[in-house]
Structure 1
Amino acid sequence: MWQTIAKSVFGSSNDRYVRSLDKIVGRINALEEQLEDFSDDELKAQTLKFRKKLEEGATLDDILPEAFATVREASKRVMGMRHYDVQMVGGIVLHRGEIAEMKTGEGKTLVATLATYLNAIEGKGVHVVTVNDYLARRDAEWMGQLYGFLGLTTGVIVPNLPEAARRDAYAADITYGTNNEFGFDYLRDNMKQERRQMVQRPFNYAIVDEVDSILIDEARTPLIISGPTEDKSDLYIALDAMVKQIVKDQEALEKERGDELTEEESFYTKDEKTRNIQLTEEGVEEMEKRLIAAGLLETDNLYDVENTQVVHHLDQALRAVVMFKKDTDYIVKDDKVVIIDEFTGRMMDGRRWSNGLHQAAEAKEGVEIQPENQTMASITFQNYFRMYPKLSGMTGTAATEASEFWDIYKLNVVEIPTNVPVARVDEEDEFYKNTLDKFAAIAKAIKEKNEIGQPVLVGTVSIEKSELLSQFLDKEGVKHAVLNARMHEQEAHIVAQAGRIGAVTIATNMAGRGTDIQLGGNVEFRVGDELAEMEDGPEKDAAIERIKAEVKEERQKVKEAGGLFVLGTERHESRRIDNQLRGRSGRQGDPGLSRFYLCLEDDLLRIFGPDTLFSKMMNANLEDGEAIGSKWLSKAIETAQKKVEARNYEMRKQVVQYDDVMNDQRKVIYDQRAEIMDSERVDDVVLDMRQDAINSLVVEACPPGSYPEQWDVEGLKEKVADVLGLTPPINDWMEEDAVEPELIEERLQDLAEERLNERTAEIPENSWRRVEKSILLERLDYHWKEHLATLDALRQVVFLRAYAQKQPINEYKQEAFGLFQTMLDTLREDVTKVLMTAQLRPAAPPPSPRALPDLPDFLTGHVDPFTGEDDSNDGDGSERMQPLFGTLASSPVASTGTAGSAQRENPYADKNVSRNAPCPCGSGNKYKHCHGAVA
């Protein structure tokens, strides 16, 4: 009670913190009149003045008021937009490395310019992270005008950008791009062979737009770069046919019985919460018979170790057929299975599920099956963004996840008040008995609003629900636009006009987020859509003025009709997604209305709702088409959402725990790679590896404390011949009286040194240094890739240790440490073997900087390491993959040639050909591998 009273009198801690920033805002405002008198040149000169102050010892906090005031004045002149005081507060919060929660329509994009400019003055680079490529391009172009006016450079990172252009973009003062592009560039940089091939600079400061979407929703699945394994298409197709038959048989039994089967009678059981499926004993026996008949089992027992691969792919086939639904989890487009993002409803073109799940879905739909992939590099968003010395973010919905932001990223969430009080009315949820009743009521409500001209934005959870509602609206004769994964190219234009009179827009999971919905329509988008063909001149100026007048008049009519009506067809499992949808209405004090429609068949209530909820609803004798609403019901729904949020947080935390183990090892490997790339010579490293390898050979054959007659002399001779290419007289050494392991090791070290000197006598020293460096990097990358594959396999099975009352994460840490030590031992031996025994050829001249090869087109994915869900490979990936690392023959000592395609003139340079499209020359290769290749 006392806390409530104190809060009402003094405000919450958040309110007090925001009020404490008013002094700084006052100092910024005091400079506005002075800066208004500056000429453009004087205003532009502010940047040089600030840089000089920093060189003289001032801090960013010292110059913050003047820098923010400069940005505000420049924004007024360049873009005609003046920052509000609450936007200044948001800018201070971002600069301090915190999360600014600002409602939709409060101008977060403009807020970011304040902290971005201030931190970019240092010249160390600022990354602005967006949720999609459209927003990255839009914001870089839009806000780049402001930064350019003030003398700063702006770059943007988008898919298929050539390496040279990426390097230039990262060298800019401010770089826009998506989280995926930044993360994949980091991984790719740490797979390159020379420092000058790398595109990123050391990390400095990042501002994450829609921070909840990127650091929470997408953080469940790590970024993964992978390459293909062997083709198993026949296996996928055979298992798919068997699974479909067994599912059909079970459904036939249920139909015959007229009731659900018990576990003893079923072939499989499913858990919709975890989206897992399990064969019962009956199912195992049935599948064994069918697999044996098809000749797919090595032994008669399905769960023998020899059948591990078959069991794995059988499980994935079951999940694909039973748990993953077409038009909800994926769609089939252009003979490909395309994943639907569960949070945005967008198509994720080129992205793929992992662990054979995508191949199982391809077999299910009868499309071409692409090969599986093997991990070559990976990192979680949590560990990627924690590498930035300073990190901040902004969104309209972060408060519900404030504890997670602090626990994982040490980011504090600050709620920024709106510039104008929110006038939107949030009504109680309406509850119906079934989906059809609910959608009929929704269609009726939309028609009522449509008749009075009130615009309606409808949020659905899947394409299937969008299209079902579309059918209901067609019956009611309501004209509407459906915005979902199938329409994602036009989403910004459709959403921008969702506030016009009588507009009805159906959006899957609020696709189009990031585009402002303005009542009466968006002038900028209307000009772009309606006047695109018109040339600049008086006629176009007059047309623009006409559109502005129309929008102004229409805005007033929409306000009188009640503003934007946001209608949710279902509660999402995350309260944030519901709040995002609601937040699209009521921007900048506009009127608005929001309401959610629910029913017993909604996934959230059906899967996660309490059992009592169902019984109470059914006992209430709810009539068909009748609606109810109550605070008890809303509370039960919120409880279900909190339950799911807690479960999802645990999943994300688990991903971080496991990746933290790998992260320590990743830092060691990447630091070692950087050190090797920066070194002129690595002979000291190679010598240490050779000495350690020889020591290991001797210790293994002649264990400490053992007698000479117990030594494995023959094994030692074989290993020495294999690793060092030597055949020393070890038997003669054994006949000496004072023979000791140390003496044998010393002699082997001397002989190895002599042999290496003989092998390199005819090779110029500079060439040999390049050979050592190339081989060291190549073998390091190869063994790291193999180590990642081993850790992937370990993570899949370590949970079984829980049956032995052991903590899986602790077991994983111990096993991973031992595997890492083994990898390092194997690496030392392998590098020594290659340098001592490989066939050397005359050296080619070092490659010129222009001829440096880029990495092959690896598949880049976004993968859940435990379930394979949300795994993806971006459109960069080529179907025919090149090997990850060259062989010794392709190292600098081998003769090399320059690819002609990268050198010849490109007659299609001005044709705007997609880099992944077939080359117009008719060669059959992709454009980027033919005339579009970059020198």
Structure 2
Amino acid sequence: MVSFGGIARKLFGSANERRVRGYKPTLAKINAIEETTKALTDEQLANKTVEFRQMLADGKTLEDIMIPAFAVAREASLRVLGMRPFDVQLTGGMILHDGAIAEMKTGEGKTLVGTLAVYLNALSGKGVHVVTVNDYLAQRDAAIMSRLYGFLGLSTGVIVHGLDDDQRRAAYACDITYATNNELGFDYLRDNMKYERGQMVQRGHNYAIVDEVDSILVDEARTPLIISGPLDDRSDLYTTIDTYIPLLSEEDYEIDEKQRSANFSEVGTEKLENLLRQAGLLKGESLYDVENVAIVHHINNALKAHKLFTRDKDYIVRNDEIVIIDEFTGRMMPGRRYSEGQHQALEAKEKVQIQPENQTLSSITFQNYFRMYSKLAGMTGTAQTEAEEFGNIYKLEVIEVPTNLPIARIDEDDEVYRTFEEKFKAIIVEIKAASERNQPVLVGTTSIEKSELLATMLRDSGFEKFSVLNARYHEQEAYIVSQAGVPGAVTIATNMAGRGTDIQLGGNVDMRIERELEGMEDEAERNALETSIRAEIKELKAKALEAGGLYVIATERHESRRIDNQLRGRSGRQGDPGRSKFYLSLQDDLMRIFGSDRMDGMLQKLGLKEGEAIVHPWINKALERAQKKVEARNFDIRKNLLKYDDVTNDQRKVIFEQRIEMMDSEDVSETIEDMRTEVIEVMVAKHIPERAYAEQWDVPGLHADVQRLLNLDLPIEDWAKEEGIAEDDIRERITQATEAAVTERRERFGNEVMNYVERSIVLQTLDHLWREHIVNLDHLRSVIGFRGYAQRDPLQEYKAEAFELFQALLANLREAVTAQMMRVELMQNPEPPQPPAVYEEHHLDPTTGEDQISGADGENFIAAPEDRHPEDPSTWGKVGRNEACPCGSGKKYKHCHGAFEQA
């Protein structure tokens, strides 16, 4: 039975088809002026950029000039790059200009599509950011496309890891800037740690096109970008709190070993409150008052250290340090540390030296970074399955662009085996058969371990002609992937590998020419070799086509349909023939999670023998439903995390805007005066209650606060004895004495110097308090979930308490700035304040848990020899197996500390 929706789609086309049809009239107008654009000389074509910019200056909009601008970009592309964008590519360019996601299949030329929207939007002069997934792609795309932009009179910059601030500033000042998502995010965070506007490198967030938009805005967005630095030494606090835990009895806490959680009972909480009160560590009445959130975090860590972590099982003590033991492998992991202060709690428990804790100095999620852009667009081969998430979080519509030629790839039904071994045997047989008939094969696995396992099994079976990719060396991998279409080639890749590089049947001619002609200077020799490579690739392509095109074999289904579609989409580019097949077993993660036990029993009853597979379209549909469930669950997790991060983000925006306002102000004395007035008002109101008699005033308390906050020794006790004196009189006299001290200091040091000092003190104090605030919010977030047990919404509770903490931050800022300004004395040649000299950048890869940024993870960064401290393995970074051990023993690393890792 045909549904009404199906009938409507047949009559009117799907919503996507109607959207694409809407671009046809504009497309026709661009094509109509193609001949007149072709007639222009190179100089006239390049001068069109100047004309367009003048039109914008005269009040025209980008929409008004889109048709001629696209025609110019297409013609320039043909002349400079030798590529004329197809009509479907122009459609993709219009979708990007509209601030939407263009879903285009692999091989349809997304990089070229981007140039159309980039050129048009760069004409505004506000900057366009093109975002890629790694440094290699950013450099490659910028190098190729800068020829086109340069021809049209636009400047191009590229930002990769390792550039200094001046190089970054110059790249951001260009009309078009290519960069990775990590570099953009970290530059934003670093800019908001600077003390001078001129030190900042970014110039705003006008328009960004995100390549591989699903990877960056969905997969990578599961973990935030974090800049961290060492905290002040708080070893005394850890030691003090550690002494309380042995004083507790079993009724004071509850342990859940399965969930690895430890919580205090009501009796235990009361006992701790008394202990903390005696030590002067408790603020207010209750341990769970919002200002005690950091203390709660520390005592929870101490409880876990004593009751959940076992010495010689979870960790060992060696050389006066705590070394974690991996729970899965039983190996020691020198250099690794538990985060959030847990490692320090263990150090306090074992009475070893307490190392400084790292503190988050600044942090942002990709969701909140990319939502800052006035206009955002993206392109990828697979976005439709995440359309709801793109719409909800980024307000981005996903529009599927038809392929230039019909897809000729055959997608076969999945083959399901009972066991892992049977499945891999069948895959090896299929790989060998395809290779023998000269068909290029791309084998997709879901993890590096499985890639290596398959490679070992292939070698053991006597098959050696294959390449393994694991996304560690992007440049080398791009070349291997580009040649994966050579007849008989077998390439094994994880879902991370080879992004952004086309697999062309016969091999990628441009990449081969670039590699084989490198360093060759003789022009005739170069031309002869280029001709021979082109002829060879033409022959190889014919062979590969005859064998059936690229054959994609997947070793299991990923929990996301999108990753499966990315792998499938590698085959059948630009109308080429191709084939794809998924091999599954009931032991695969996805099959195991979704009831493979029942299926296993059913298959045995049906008499399925070893080595036989079941193939049926119903299985494909059932698996797709399972994948949809997992996708929905993952989306809910990301959405929930974002709700909490939005609270921090609203506060972050306020703080960062205030910082920029302060940096831009020549004179912040009015702001400081407002702070001073507020401090005096609060101080007087605190010690002199409204409508209270003079005998009820807390005169000694007021005198002490005036000394502490205003650095003034005023005769307040004498004033209070005067007949008929009121609260307003006291406030007025304190204010007059304060203003006199401020005026005297300003006259002594001069306006210019005081303006500089005031601005510096406000910025430094704001930064210090903001960092403490971030830590408090992290701690609050880690415990707020327990409010759900009391039938209260944790998110609403978090919002309310985060607001209270923010109000406290502002009150502390007013007090701290006022106290410092009333005490400031100047030395000769003051040095401008600088952000912390030592800080680390972190972004965890959501798929592997490894830190993608060098310098952030004890095992992932390469440390300079002079930065390695013999007693501190966390400073060693990655050490070569045959290097001398950094501990100074004189042995090779593999025979010394490296041997501990293998143990």
2:502 alignment partner AA: D
TM (norm. structure 1) is 0.80
Match of 1:218 in 2: 220
- The 8 Å contact of residues 212 and 379 in structure 2, kept in 1 or not, is answered as yes
Task: Classify the secondary structure of the residue corresponding to 2:749.
Answer: coil
1:508 alignment partner AA: T
Match of 2:358 in 1: 373
Mapped to 1, the partners of 2:394 and 2:134 lie a distance apart of: 22
Greater mean alpha carbon deviation, residues 221-230 or residues 790-799: 221-230
1:637 alignment partner AA: L
1:875 alignment partner AA: S
The 5 Å alignment of 1:293-332 reads 307-311=299-303
TM-superposed CA distance for 1:722, in Å, is 1.3
2:390 to 380, 389, 405: 405
Mapped to 2, the partners of 1:324 and 1:872 lie a distance apart of: 20
Mapped to 1, the partners of 2:816 and 2:683 lie a distance apart of: 12
Q: In the superposition, relative to structure 1, how do residues 144 and 377 fare at CA in structure 2: closer, same or farther (>3 Å)?
A: same
Mapped to 2, the partners of 1:311 and 1:575 lie a distance apart of: 42
Q: In the superposition, relative to structure 1, how do residues 919 and 490 fare at CA in structure 2: closer, same or farther (>3 Å)?
A: farther
1:801 to 783, 787, 802: 787
Task: Classify the secondary structure of the residue corresponding to 1:573.
Answer: coil
Match of 1:511 in 2: 497
Task: Classify the secondary structure of the residue corresponding to 1:649.
Answer: helix
Mapped to 1, the partners of 2:327 and 2:520 lie a distance apart of: 48
Q: In the superposition, relative to structure 1, how do residues 447 and 44 fare at CA in structure 2: closer, same or farther (>3 Å)?
A: same
1:695 to 681, 685, 691: 681
> Please, what is the CA RMSD of the aligned residues?
3.5
Q: In the superposition, relative to structure 1, how do residues 551 and 873 fare at CA in structure 2: closer, same or farther (>3 Å)?
A: closer
Mapped to 2, the partners of 1:465 and 1:358 lie a distance apart of: 33
2:454 to 462, 469, 476: 469
Match of 1:862 in 2: 843
1:134 alignment partner AA: Y
- The 8 Å contact of residues 221 and 870 in structure 1, kept in 2 or not, is answered as no
1:556 to 527, 542, 557: 542
Task: Classify the secondary structure of the residue corresponding to 1:728.
Answer: coil
Mapped to 2, the partners of 1:145 and 1:16 lie a distance apart of: 36
TM-superposed CA distance for 1:493, in Å, is 1.2
- The 8 Å contact of residues 424 and 592 in structure 1, kept in 2 or not, is answered as yes
TM-superposed CA distance for 1:877, in Å, is 5.9
Mapped to 2, the partners of 1:357 and 1:453 lie a distance apart of: 56
Mapped to 1, the partners of 2:70 and 2:309 lie a distance apart of: 54
2:703 to 717, 722, 727: 717
Mapped to 1, the partners of 2:233 and 2:419 lie a distance apart of: 45
TM-superposed CA distance for 1:452, in Å, is 0.8
Match of 1:453 in 2: 438
Match of 1:21 in 2: 23
Mapped to 1, the partners of 2:682 and 2:657 lie a distance apart of: 25
Greater mean alpha carbon deviation, residues 781-790 or residues 726-735: 726-735
1:604 to 590, 608, 613: 590
The 5 Å alignment of 1:630-641 reads 630-641=616-627
Q: In the superposition, relative to structure 1, how do residues 868 and 571 fare at CA in structure 2: closer, same or farther (>3 Å)?
A: closer
Deviations 1:830-872 (A, max 9, x none): 001111124432454x87xxxx9687352122369xx999584
Q: In the superposition, relative to structure 1, how do residues 72 and 916 fare at CA in structure 2: closer, same or farther (>3 Å)?
A: farther
Match of 1:532 in 2: 518
1:824 to 786, 810, 821: 810
1:752 to 738, 760, 772: 738
Deviations 1:675-711 (A, max 9, x none): 1111111000111111111112112222334443333
- The 8 Å contact of residues 610 and 640 in structure 1, kept in 2 or not, is answered as no
2:125 to 116, 123, 126: 123
Say yes or no: does 1:388 pair with 2:373. yes
Mapped to 1, the partners of 2:332 and 2:21 lie a distance apart of: 50
Match of 1:291 in 2: none
- The 8 Å contact of residues 193 and 835 in structure 2, kept in 1 or not, is answered as no
Match of 2:63 in 1: 61
Deviations 1:407-445 (A, max 9, x none): 111111100000001111111111111211111111111
Q: In the superposition, relative to structure 1, how do residues 673 and 584 fare at CA in structure 2: closer, same or farther (>3 Å)?
A: same
Match of 1:889 in 2: none
Deviations 1:789-832 (A, max 9, x none): 10011111100100000101100000011110000000000001
1:576 alignment partner AA: R
The 5 Å alignment of 1:894-913 reads none
Mapped to 1, the partners of 2:824 and 2:857 lie a distance apart of: 31
Task: Classify the secondary structure of the residue corresponding to 1:388.
Answer: coil
Deviations 1:219-272 (A, max 9, x none): 122222211247999x99xxxxxxxxxxxxxxxxxxxxxxxxxxxxx9943xxx
The 5 Å alignment of 1:717-866 reads 717-844=703-830, 856-862=837-843
Mapped to 1, the partners of 2:326 and 2:615 lie a distance apart of: 32
TM (norm. structure 2) is 0.83
Match of 2:871 in 1: none
Task: Classify the secondary structure of the residue corresponding to 1:90.
Answer: helix
- The 8 Å contact of residues 400 and 575 in structure 1, kept in 2 or not, is answered as yes
- The 8 Å contact of residues 457 and 566 in structure 1, kept in 2 or not, is answered as yes
Give 5+ residue unaligned stretches, structure 2: 239-254, 265-280, 282-294, 316-323, 348-352, 868-874, 877-903
Mapped to 1, the partners of 2:563 and 2:533 lie a distance apart of: 33
Mapped to 2, the partners of 1:383 and 1:353 lie a distance apart of: 27
Mapped to 2, the partners of 1:215 and 1:384 lie a distance apart of: 10
Match of 2:872 in 1: none
Match of 2:135 in 1: 133
2:633 alignment partner AA: R
Say yes or no: does 1:520 pair with 2:519. no
Q: In the superposition, relative to structure 1, how do residues 43 and 305 fare at CA in structure 2: closer, same or farther (>3 Å)?
A: closer
TM-superposed CA distance for 1:566, in Å, is 0.8
The 5 Å alignment of 1:863-882 reads 870=849, 872=851, 874-875=853-854
1:10 to 3, 9, 12: 12
Mapped to 2, the partners of 1:490 and 1:118 lie a distance apart of: 34
Match of 1:501 in 2: 487
Deviations 1:299-351 (A, max 9, x none): xxxx9987422355687999998998679xx999xx877xxxxxxxxxxxxxx
- The 8 Å contact of residues 325 and 332 in structure 2, kept in 1 or not, is answered as no
- The 8 Å contact of residues 262 and 303 in structure 2, kept in 1 or not, is answered as no
Task: Classify the secondary structure of the residue corresponding to 1:506.
Answer: strand
TM-superposed CA distance for 1:713, in Å, is 2.3
Task: Classify the secondary structure of the residue corresponding to 2:378.
Answer: strand
Task: Classify the secondary structure of the residue corresponding to 1:45.
Answer: helix
1:401 alignment partner AA: E
- The 8 Å contact of residues 426 and 593 in structure 1, kept in 2 or not, is answered as yes
- The 8 Å contact of residues 565 and 585 in structure 1, kept in 2 or not, is answered as yes
- The 8 Å contact of residues 359 and 372 in structure 1, kept in 2 or not, is answered as yes
Mapped to 1, the partners of 2:834 and 2:770 lie a distance apart of: 21
2:26 alignment partner AA: I
Aligned-residue identity in percent: 54
Give 5+ residue unaligned stretches, structure 1: 237-265, 270-275, 282-297, 338-351, 363-367, 880-913, 927-935
Mapped to 2, the partners of 1:789 and 1:331 lie a distance apart of: 29
Say yes or no: does 1:444 pair with 2:429. yes
- The 8 Å contact of residues 354 and 869 in structure 1, kept in 2 or not, is answered as no
Task: Classify the secondary structure of the residue corresponding to 2:18.
Answer: helix
Task: Classify the secondary structure of the residue corresponding to 1:505.
Answer: strand
Q: In the superposition, relative to structure 1, how do residues 109 and 304 fare at CA in structure 2: closer, same or farther (>3 Å)?
A: closer
Q: In the superposition, relative to structure 1, how do residues 612 and 113 fare at CA in structure 2: closer, same or farther (>3 Å)?
A: same
Task: Classify the secondary structure of the residue corresponding to 1:762.
Answer: helix
Mapped to 2, the partners of 1:507 and 1:414 lie a distance apart of: 28
Mapped to 2, the partners of 1:360 and 1:326 lie a distance apart of: 24
2:574 to 588, 593, 596: 588
Paired residues, what number?
802
Match of 2:209 in 1: 207
Mapped to 2, the partners of 1:585 and 1:323 lie a distance apart of: 40
